[in-house]
Structure 1
Amino acid sequence: MSARWIVLVVLAALALAAAPAAFAEGADKGFAGLGAEAAGFDRPIPGTPLVFPRDLGPHPGFRTEWWYLTANLEDESGAAYGVQWTLFRQAGAPGDEREGWANQTVWMGHAAVTTATEHLFAETFARGGVGQAGVTTQPFRAWIDDWIFEARQEAPGAGLDAPGAALSRARISANGPGFRYAFDLAADKPLVLHGDQGFSRKSDDGRASYYFSQPFFKIDGVLVLHGRKVELSGLAWMDREWSSQPLAATQKGWDWFSLHLSTGEKLMVFRLRDGTSRDFCAGTWIGADGAAQTLDRNDITLLPLSETHLAGRVLPVSWKLLVKSHGIDVETAPVNGASWMATSFPYWEGPISFHGSHEGKGYLEMTGY
C-alpha cells in the first residue's frame, strides 16, 4: 500500500469516527438531536424572504440542513419502485467555518432503492473542508463521494432569480450494495414554499425551519439492481430544509407524507409526535398549476391503520389521511412494509400508494420510533 493510500485510509477513519458523534449530539432530545439546545447557531425568523439560487446552497450559520429527493417509479410492466437520494449537513459547533480538517461540518449521505420484495440502502460520511462533500449554487451541485445531485441547465428564458429556475433540470446518481442508479429530472413549475413563505413552524413554542420543495419533478433513467438493468420513469419530490433546533425537546419524531394525486395536485402533511402535549400537524396543498395553500393544523387528521414489527420497533405503515378542506379521505399502503433504513439514525422511508376519495402515489417517512 502506497503512503498516499495509507494517509487516505487514516483520514477516512478519522472522518467516520467523528461523523456519528457530530450527528448524535443531544440524540436523546428529539430525533437525532434536532431538539437539543443550539446556542450560538442562527434561528429561523418569520418574514425572512427566501432568495434563489442562494437558498439552494448551504447555510453555515445553521446547525442542520438537508437536500432530499424521493421518487415513485415504474418499469415497463408497471411494477413499482422507490428511490431516495439525501445529503445532510451538520455543524458540530457554531461560528465561521474553519479550513481543512479543522472544519466543524460533517456531511452524511443516504441512498435507497425499494421494490415490493427488497429495500436496499447505503450510508456514507464525509468531513467538511476537504472537498469530499459539499453544495454549490451556480451551477447547483450537491455531492458526497461519487453521489451527485446537480443541475443540468437553466430553463430556457428563465433568470437565475426565478424560484426553481436553477434546478428545473437536474440529474442524480448514487450507488450502494446491490444497486446503482442514474436519473434525469425535469420540472415545469416553480418551487413551493411551505408554511409562511418558507418559514415552517414545528411546535407551539416557536420551533421552526426554513422549508421549500420541488414536487413537480418528472424523472426517468436507469437502475441497476443486482446487475440487472431496469429502465424506470415516474414522479419525484425534492425537499430542502434547514434550521438549528426545529424540534421541541419533547418531540421525539415525525410522520411525513408527500403525495402525488392522479389529478395533478400535490399534498404534503406531517405530524410531530409529542410525548407531553398535543401532536403538531402542518401541511401544504399544491394545485396542479403550482399554487400553494398552507393548511390549518385542525384541517389535518392522521390515523394509523396497521402496524408492523421491524428492528424491535412497532411501526404504523398504513394510514388514514384526511384533509377536510379539500375533501381528502384516503388510506395509504406501503409498496414494501419493511422499508427500514438501518442507518446511524434509523428510520422508515418508502414509497406508498393511496386510494379512497383520491388515488395516487407518494412517500412516507417515519422517525423516532
Structure 2
Amino acid sequence: MSASGTITRRAFAGGALALALGGKSVAQGFAGLGENAEGFAAVTPGKQFAFPADHGPHPEFRIEWWYVTANLTDASGAAYGTQWTLFRQAMKPGGPAEGWANQQVWMGHAAVTSAATHRFSETFARGGVGQAGVDATPFRAGIDAWEIRGLDGFDAQTVAPLELKASAADFSATLRLAADRPLVLQGDHGYSRKSDRGQASYYYSQPFYKASGRIVIDDRPVDVTGMAWMDREWSSQPLAADQTGWDWFSLHLPGDEKLMLYRLRQKDGRENLFGNWITPDGRSTEIAASGNSIAPVAITEIDGRKLPTAWRVALPARGLAIETTPLNPKSWMGTSFPYWEGPVRFTGSHAGIGYLEMTGY
C-alpha cells in the first residue's frame, strides 16, 4: 500500500489470493488446497494429454503450477540450487471475466540457495491485465520480468530448449535448459492420486534437463552447470480436507534414473506415500503404495518451527536405502504460504542429488 493509502495492483492481487485461500490452511489442508471444489473441473483417470496445448493454462481447474528446480555447481565444485515457480489460482469457477474482474490470480516464487545463503522472492499478479500468464505456442510462462520461454527449436515433447530468468534485489538466475528425452507422465499415466478418497491431479515432469547459466547472490556472479527438473500439475482439489501438507522429493539417481516420491500427511497421523521410478529411457512406473518408507532423521528449527530436513528413504523392491541431507538446512521460503524448499544430497545404496519440498509445518 502506498503512503496515500491507495492499494497497488500487486497488493490487490496478493490480497485477493490471501482472501481466496487465507485462513483455510489448517481447516482445509495446506494453503486451502483441500477446500471443496464444486463448480470446477474434476480430475479423472484416462486423460489423453496433448502437447503443446497442455503446456498452457487450464482455467477450468482451480489450481496449477509450472515448477522448475535445478541442482547446480560452479567450476570449483561448490553446490547451488535454483527454484522458479509460477502458480495460477482461480478464486471462483466460470468463464473468464475482463480486466481486474478476472478471477485468476498468479503468484511467482523464485530462490537461489548455497551452503551459506538462501535468497527468495515472491510476486503476485491479477489475471486479465497482462502482467502474468502462460502461452502454449510459442511457449512462455511469466510474471513481470520472470519467465521461462521456449527458444529456437523448441520441442513440445521434450519441453526444450528453454531459458529461465528470475531476479530480485539480492539474487538472480539465468539458465538455459536442454533435454534429449521426452517428458514423463507421473502417477498412473498422468493421473496422480493424492488420497484414497478421490483427490488427484494431472501431473507430468521433465526430469532430464541439463542446465547451464549464471546465478548472482548478493552481487556475486557465478557460472554454473547441472541438472534441472520441471513439474507440471493441475487440479481442483489436490488435497483432502484433513491432509495437512506433504514432503516431496525429486531425486537424480546414478545412471540417469530418476525418483519422484512424496508423503502426504493427515491430521490423525496417518500418511499416504506415492511416487514414480523413471528409467533412463523415460519409462515411468508407479511406486507400490505399501512396503516403502520415508522417515525424518534430523530436525532443524526455523522461526519457531521444527522441520525434518534430513530423511531416510527405503524402497526395498528397488534395492534403494538412502539418507538425504540438505545443502542448506535453513532453506525456508517465508512466502505468503510458507514452506521449505532446497537442494539435497543423498548417500547409501545410491548416491546423487535432488530437491526436497516440505509444506504444512
Q: TM-score, normalised by structure 1?
A: 0.94
Give how far 1:276 is off.
Answer: 2.4
Name the residue aligned to 1:20: 18
Residues 24-43 of structure 1 mapped to structure 2, 5 A cutoff: 24=22, 26-28=24-26, 29-43=28-42
Name the residue aligned to 1:230: 222
Q: Alpha-carbon deviations, 1:171-217, whole Å to 9, x = none?
A: 10001231111110001111110111100000011110000000000
Name the residue aligned to 1:83: 82
Name the residue aligned to 1:132: 131
Name the residue aligned to 2:192: 200
Partner residue of 2:311 out of 312, 319, 323: 319
C-alpha separation in 2, matches of 1:310 and 1:12: 28
2:155 equivalent to 1:172: no
Taking only the aligned residue pairs, the percentage that are identical comes to 54
Name the residue aligned to 2:106: 107
Name the residue aligned to 2:261: 269
RMSD (Å), alpha carbons: 1.6
Residues 186-197 of structure 1 mapped to structure 2, 5 A cutoff: 186-197=178-189
C-alpha separation in 2, matches of 1:12 and 1:150: 23
C-alpha separation in 2, matches of 1:11 and 1:237: 32
Q: Alpha-carbon deviations, 1:320-364, whole Å to 9, x = none?
A: 001122111000000000000000000000000000000000000
Residues 273-312 of structure 1 mapped to structure 2, 5 A cutoff: 273-276=265-268, 278-312=270-304
Q: Structure 2: which 5+ residue stretches go unaligned?
A: none
Could you say what secondary structure the match of 1:154 adopts?
strand
Name the residue aligned to 1:3: none
Residues 345-360 of structure 1 mapped to structure 2, 5 A cutoff: 345-360=337-352
C-alpha separation in 2, matches of 1:59 and 1:299: 35
- Kept in 2: contact 1:19–1:127 (CA 8 A): no
Residue 290 of structure 2 aligns with an amino acid whose one-letter code is: N
- Kept in 2: contact 1:211–1:241 (CA 8 A): yes
Q: Alpha-carbon deviations, 1:45-80, whole Å to 9, x = none?
A: 111111111111100000010000000000000000
- Kept in 2: contact 1:134–1:144 (CA 8 A): yes
Name the residue aligned to 2:209: 217
Q: Alpha-carbon deviations, 1:109-156, whole Å to 9, x = none?
A: 00001000111000000000011000000111000000001111335x
Name the residue aligned to 2:57: 58
Could you say what secondary structure the match of 1:263 adopts?
helix
Could you say what secondary structure the match of 1:98 adopts?
coil
Tell me which moved more, 232-241 or 290-299.
290-299
- Kept in 2: contact 1:81–1:114 (CA 8 A): yes
Could you say what secondary structure the match of 1:17 adopts?
helix
Residue 119 of structure 1 aligns with an amino acid whose one-letter code is: H
Q: TM-score, normalised by structure 2?
A: 0.96
C-alpha separation in 1, matches of 2:192 and 2:13: 32
Residue 54 of structure 2 aligns with an amino acid whose one-letter code is: D
Give how far 1:300 is off.
Answer: 2.3
Q: Structure 1: which 5+ residue stretches go unaligned?
A: 1-5
Give how far 1:277 is off.
Answer: 6.0
C-alpha separation in 2, matches of 1:328 and 1:298: 15
Change (3 A) 1:12 1:308: closer
* Moved beyond 6 Å, runs of 4+: none
